[in-house]
Amino acid sequence: MNFDVLIIGAGPIGSSLACKLSSFGLKVALADKKTTIGKQACSGLFSRRITKYFDLEDDMIENVVEGAIFHTKSCDFEVRKGKPEALVVDRLKFDRFILKKAADSGAHTFFGARLISHVRADDSIRACIDTPKGPKEIAAKLIVGADGAASMVRQVFSLRGDLRYVNGILSYYPMKNTSPLVELYYSPGTAPGFFAWKIPRGNRTEFGLATDIRHNHLEYFRRFLKKFNLKLSGFHAHPICFGKQQSAAERVLLVGDAAAQVKPFSGGGIIYGMICVDIAAKAISYAFDKDDFTGEFLKKHYDDKWKQKLMPKIELGLGIRNTLDSLNDRELDTFFGMLNEQKGAIESLGDMDFL
Ligand SMILES: Cc1cc2nc3c(=O)[nH]c(=O)nc-3n(C[C@H](O)[C@H](O)[C@H](O)COP(=O)(O)OP(=O)(O)OC[C@H]3O[C@@H](n4cnc5c(N)ncnc54)[C@H](O)[C@@H]3O)c2cc1C
């Protein structure tokens, strides 16, 4: 089967890109290894910027929040904007909503379809996809890896990166909670290398944390839940990666978590991914106009462009992340105590997407 673009990964980023490219008139194949789409290991906490990209349906929004309480061992520091700052969105519904838009725009979808190998031809890439009906060959002028933090496209096309991984885990409890504040817990004893959280989701409450991959996230999660007299029941877990990643090579692009378009401070990837979908869609459309799929062209019009926009923020986030990770409980108290003194400026100028 021949396509213009093959996108591996029908998460929100792959589906959004498929939707845009199909609406430009390109013939798009969107393949996902899952048979049922929708990521459950995600809090779905998005800044209001998300509404620039989608008209979210009411039943997808579980709660609206205005700020956060940052807890360290002996300090509680509250930042409250006094107006809606972020939406708590049902990720399953969100993913399926975007996938439907992609399919409605004309993208051809393949589920239970995992990329297993590829061959480079002169004018295309021939990908072998393992499907429930057996292996299928898909030829495309361009392949896009939107296959998440553990991207196989990144790996098989040997795109270089300097990435850090943490393991995220979360559970939902049937505890009604309409608070306008999320709660974040910073302590090396609670979530080494990241942080833990409690998110008010209206009819339910989410507890979660992420730890550096050298630590047992499940064990830390059990201990965190115990503080709230809760036991671990069902959970969802997934890695988060952040850092610096090459995202373009001849006939190949990465987008979303696969390209580490992620905020190192919070691990959030949806808003940066959506910003980069717009840049990728323009670059891909231009590549088809010029019939140029060289690594140089794609780097200039995609990799350089998104990095110009987001890399200063990612570097700032990496600096803050490294600082926080190096502090003990007493130092974290002092750090957040100092932030508390700047509370007014943070409340008026802070932006959860760009710090
Ligand atoms: C615990 C946790 C909480 C989070 N909370 C937030 C949050 O509140 N806000 C926020 O903005 N971000 C959050 N994130 C990050 C967010 O989930 C990601 O940034 C987002 O899912 C990235 O979207 P994506 O489409 O790039 O990748 P994904 O959503 O991971 O989708 C990738 C898709 O590719 C498919 N795939 C993978 N490999 C293959 C293959 N070989 N062949 C075919 N298909 C493949 C997968 O099945 C999947 O459907 C959280 C992450 C975790 C782990």
pLDDT at 326 over 80: yes
The whole-number pLDDT of residue 50 equals: 97
Q: How far is the CA of 12 from the centre of ligand 1 (A)?
A: 8
Amino acid at the residue 17? L
Structure tokens at 304: 């350089």
CB atoms within 10 A of CB 182: 23
Q: How far is the CA of 190 from the centre of ligand 1 (A)?
A: 24
pLDDT at 74 over 80: yes
Structure tokens at 231: 């036991």
d(CA 136, CA 66) in angstroms, rounded, equals: 48
Measured by CA distance, the residue closest to atom 2 of ligand 1 is 42
Residue 39 — pLDDT band, cuts 50, 70, 90?
confident
Structure tokens at 226: 């115990």
Contact of 290 with 26, CB cutoff 8 Å: no
Mutation choice for ligand 1 from 60, 88, 117, 147, CB with most ligand atoms inside 8 A: 147
Which residue matches tokens 């008026």? 348
d(CA 40, CA 234) in angstroms, rounded, equals: 11
The whole-number pLDDT of residue 350 equals: 85
267: left (phi over 0), alpha (psi -120 to 50) or beta: left
Residue 299 — pLDDT band, cuts 50, 70, 90?
very high
pLDDT at 191 over 90: yes
What tens digit of pLDDT does each residue of 239-255 get? 999 999 999 999 999 99
Pairing of strands 161-173, 205-212: antiparallel
Q: Which residues contact 223 (CB under 8 A, 6 or more apart)?
A: 190
Q: Which atom of ligand 1 is nearest to the CA of 240?
A: 53
User: What CATH number was assigned to the domain covering residues 2-349?
Assistant: 3.50.50.60
Q: What is the mean pLDDT of the chain?
A: 96
E-strand ranges in the chain read 2-8, 28-32, 45-47, 61-65, 67-71, 76-80, 86-89, 108-111, 114-120, 125-131, 134-145, 161-173, 181-185, 196-200, 205-212, 236-245, 248-249, 252-254
Residues with CB under 6 A from ligand 1: 8-14, 31-34, 39, 41-46, 114-115, 146-148, 152, 168, 170, 208, 238, 240, 256-257, 262, 267-270, 273
d(CA 17, CA 177) in angstroms, rounded, equals: 34
Q: Which atom of ligand 1 is nearest to the CA of 256?
A: 26
d(CA 21, CA 253) in angstroms, rounded, equals: 14
Three-state SS string across 113-169, please? CEEEEEEECCCCEEEEEEECCEEEEEEEEEEEECCCCCCHHHHHCCCCEEEEEEEEE
